[in-house]
Structure 1
Amino acid sequence: MKKTQAGILVIDDKEDILFAAKMVLKKHFEEIHTLADPKKALALLSENRIDVLLMDMNYRIGFEDGREGIYLLKEIKAFSPTTVVILMTAFGKVETAVEGLKLGAFDYILKPWDNDKLIATVKQAVAESRRERKQEQAKPKESVFIGGSPAIKRAYSLAEKVAATDANVLILGENGTGKSAMARHIHQRSQRAAQPFVHVDLGALNENIFESELFGYARGAFTDAKADTPGRFELADKGTIFLDEIGNVPLHLQSKLLQVIQNKQVTRLGEAKARPVDVRIITATNASLKALTAAREFREDLYYRINTMEILLPPLRERREDLAPLAQFLLDAMAGKYERDTLVFAPDALNQIEKHAWNGNIREMENRIERAVILSDNGMINVSDLDLDIIIETEVSQDIQLSDMERTAIERALQKHGNNISKTAEELGLSRAALYRRMEKYDMK
């Protein structure tokens, strides 16, 4: 029997599971890797072409909710988009596996598995991986929509200029405005384009693992540190590291990040030796770092270190002329993803797209259009497919009224608490950073 030429990786903290999987898979596929420590997954992916990854959902004793698996899935899909992921889970944990499917996993299998079912699922995943790689290679280099509004054209003009340098870049913008796409755009046009692009979501990184994830660790540095492991900065060596949601880094950890940026060296946990790293640093946030700095919640020296060049991405409500072209761009992309031909918007759907508030910005539009492509069965995208049928003519004026109400509520709460930010934020159900953003929005000093 001829083996399929493919790279397969199995991640599970139980050695008997890894052994059993390898014995079954090696009869059908050329290259089988196994890994007991999920923290080494990105390092292995950076060194090998992995077509399909099978991964358990739980790794630590006492943690059975699958959160570790979900976090790892997000990291893998961001780091290696064409690696197809199959989740392995026990019968009682199917609900978490279904959540994984929504986040990009290809399929799931139950443990203990049926060998024939396992082989069939992996073969389907290999075919899917090849299809995705073919699509990725066929994509033109420019895969981001820019648009024609002055604000977005100004942002991308700055990006083109700064891409040719190694200057640190801070990207600002609301959730969903395309900060990650902008970071990749800069990397792809830099002299580091052929080197790694490592995306780190600092907002999802627990502060207990902040140092080990970013800077790596030596064997024995802590209980589960069974081998020397590089951090994200080392994985990004010669390339670009994108630190998303930089405003979420706790104050007591900001000094350690600043030292790495200044000295261009990392010291793994449990080691005394500093390791040089050559990385281009791009950061992003939806918070007002100026306000956080003024409130002494973000280090001023770190702010100026990451802010050699600042690029502001406008929300969709400030680029209304781009709504219809952006919707068409996303429709074409989704039609390609789902292999659908000749999909078009109905006139009333385009009309509602241009009226909608799009508070979730590009991410919201992308999700709604993907939903519409899945639901459409006649080649026409209707208002009901987009779930925009509740939008009415008075939406703009309603938004203005709501903004006035929000400003008034903030003013009253500040007056009530004698301008105490912490108490005001608590009463309004906001974080301090969110309150500062709103105060800056309404020019409230």
Structure 2
Amino acid sequence: MTTHTALIVDDEPDIRDLLEITLTRMGINTLTAPDVTSARKLLGEHRPQLCLTDMNLPDGNGIELVQWIQQHSPNTPVAVITAYGNMDTAIESLKAGAFDFVSKPVELPRLRELVNSALKLSEPDSGTEASADEPGLLLGNSAEIKRLRTQVRKLARSQAPVFISGESGSGKELVARMIHLQGPRRDKPFIAVNCGAIPSELMESEFFGHKKGSFTGAVDNKDGLFRSADGGTLFLDEVADLPLAMQVKLLRAIQEKAVRPVGDTKEVAVDIRLLSATHKDLPGLVQNGEFRQDLFYRINVIELSVPALRDRPDDISLLANHILQRIAREYECEPAALTPDAIDRLKDHDFPGNVRELENILERAFTLCDADLIGPEDLHIGNGPAPSGLSGAGSTGTPATEHEPLTLPEGEIDLENYLESIERQAIEKALAATRWNKTAAAKRLGISFRALRYRLKKLGME
């Protein structure tokens, strides 16, 4: 079993003794220093796996020590001890590169959590010890994506809240997952929530949970998203969509590291890493009074920008082939490949919907191409022909001569489900007419055999 060493830097002997006793009981060897000068000397001689430093020291401050360690011993996580309620100093230390912070008076359970998380970063199988540019979920060889992967690896070593900005479909949730998977919380839950998809009247219950009977419909106790993510990472996607009333409650939960379930009188402590994202101009919303400045200040300790797909065209071929392989596995079909002309057509496309749009284009092309090659005409972008066959919106897939007038049901309809039911009926009729010969049924429907296989799988008809 590996024995870890921690350096404690504090000019108050009582605090040094308390921290030393706590860490020793955790099986950790300790070194102590009363000032920055002594700390630098010990860091050079011993290379500890963790440094705990007070903010105010006789010959400098904790942030200066954090910056020095970032330069001379970047693999040593540093936690800063701040005065009670001094969030400005805590945030400043996180921006400087501190792993985390703990406030005075030091709560020992919180300190133990922090220490255990920090020591995971020095374990041999740590996610951050991967090869220098392991792509993980962030595929690509462009300078932009390599820079992003480097930033992700660095941020994974911190507990600082990260705000991920970028256009819709650019992969902000993938970035959040990589930060989680490469950090010390990787064995704990990663909970992603789209803030714009939760009805405002249910938002408090969804985030903080509720007690049974606290309101009509609360038939059981509910943990809520914060408690479900305890020990792990909570990713708030489209955080700009939070109503102002909820922003106030979210800010309190982040500051207090505790939540109060609806209908409860007690707060419950939670330990989460907070990541958030939006495609909207959050600073602009703050300026207009639509997003609280104090909450923006808390979630935007470090900003990470995800490049748009149009800014890294050299990655399109690699991404496209990866997506096509995944589609083939998912629908149990033979894989298809892009012709050079098709790749050039994709590189010329602007991709306002980014990687998500690329996925949609390729999924459609995969079903419509006749052979195992996807040409530019199969992509239906730029000057290509409009899609036809089953993938066309509202098409039944039957030849034009077999179309029957559609009669819409009365009242409101779910268009997607309605079109899916028409498609299902058309396929069932074609299969019945051909005695379930899929090749013949595909020909009757005017689509490729691959397209029929794909549709059968997607509609659950196999």
TM-score (norm 1): 0.54
- Bigger Cα displacement from structure 2, 141-150 vs 257-266: 141-150
Aligned counterpart, 2:258: 265
Change (3 A) 1:174 1:153: same
**Cα shift at 1:273:** 0.5
| 1:291-350 residue CA offsets vs partner (Å, 9 max, x unmatched) | 111112111111111112211011112222222222222222223323334521122211
Aligned counterpart, 1:148: 141
Change (3 A) 1:171 1:391: farther
Amino acid at match of 1:152: I
Matches within 5 A, 1:166-205: 166-205=159-198
- Return the match for 1:292 from 262, 280, 285: 285
Aligned counterpart, 2:209: 216
Amino acid at match of 1:264: K
CA-atom RMSD in angstroms: 1.8
Amino acid at match of 2:358: M
Change (3 A) 1:342 1:198: closer
Question: Matched residues in 2 for 1:236 and 1:377: separation?
Answer: 46
Helix, strand or coil at the partner of 1:170: strand
- Return the match for 1:388 from 378, 381, 384: 381
Amino acid at match of 1:185: M
| 1:156-190 residue CA offsets vs partner (Å, 9 max, x unmatched) | 21111011221111100010000011111111111
Determine which structure has more spread, i.e. the larger CA radius of gyration: 2
Change (3 A) 1:367 1:143: farther
Amino acid at match of 2:268: R
Helix, strand or coil at the partner of 1:283: strand
Q: Structure 1 residue 371 and structure 2 residue 364: aligned?
A: yes
Aligned counterpart, 1:318: 311
| 1:42-86 residue CA offsets vs partner (Å, 9 max, x unmatched) | xxxxxxxxxxxxxxxxxxxxxxxxxxxxxxxxxxxxxxxxxxxxx
**Cα shift at 1:389:** 5.5
**Cα shift at 1:391:** 5.7
Helix, strand or coil at the partner of 2:188: coil
Aligned counterpart, 2:333: 340
Helix, strand or coil at the partner of 2:214: coil
Q: Structure 1 residue 228 and structure 2 residue 224: aligned?
A: no
CA contact (8 A) 2:170 2:354 kept: yes
Helix, strand or coil at the partner of 2:268: strand
Aligned counterpart, 1:242: 235
CA contact (8 A) 1:145 1:329 kept: no
Helix, strand or coil at the partner of 2:333: coil
| 1:406-433 residue CA offsets vs partner (Å, 9 max, x unmatched) | xxxxxxxxxxxxxxxxxxxxxxxxxxxx
Amino acid at match of 2:366: V
Amino acid at match of 2:179: I
Helix, strand or coil at the partner of 1:242: strand
CA contact (8 A) 1:383 1:389 kept: no
CA contact (8 A) 1:352 1:391 kept: no
Runs of 5+ in structure 2 lacking a partner?
A: 1-133, 386-462
**Cα shift at 1:373:** 2.1
CA contact (8 A) 2:336 2:373 kept: yes
Helix, strand or coil at the partner of 1:305: helix
| 1:235-269 residue CA offsets vs partner (Å, 9 max, x unmatched) | 11111111000011111211100001111101000
Matches within 5 A, 1:69-88: none
- Return the match for 1:327 from 320, 333, 355: 320
| % identity of equivalent residues | 40
Q: Structure 1 residue 163 and structure 2 residue 144: aligned?
A: no
Question: Matched residues in 2 for 1:204 and 1:213: separation?
Answer: 11
Helix, strand or coil at the partner of 1:259: helix
Question: Matched residues in 2 for 1:248 and 1:377: separation?
Answer: 43
CA contact (8 A) 2:161 2:274 kept: yes
Helix, strand or coil at the partner of 2:280: coil
Helix, strand or coil at the partner of 2:246: helix
Q: Structure 1 residue 349 and structure 2 residue 356: aligned?
A: no
Amino acid at match of 1:198: I
Helix, strand or coil at the partner of 1:310: strand
Amino acid at match of 2:212: R
Change (3 A) 1:142 1:316: closer
Q: Structure 1 residue 275 and structure 2 residue 268: aligned?
A: yes
Question: Matched residues in 2 for 1:362 and 1:320: separation?
Answer: 11
Helix, strand or coil at the partner of 1:281: strand
Structure 1 runs of 4+ with >4 Å offset = none
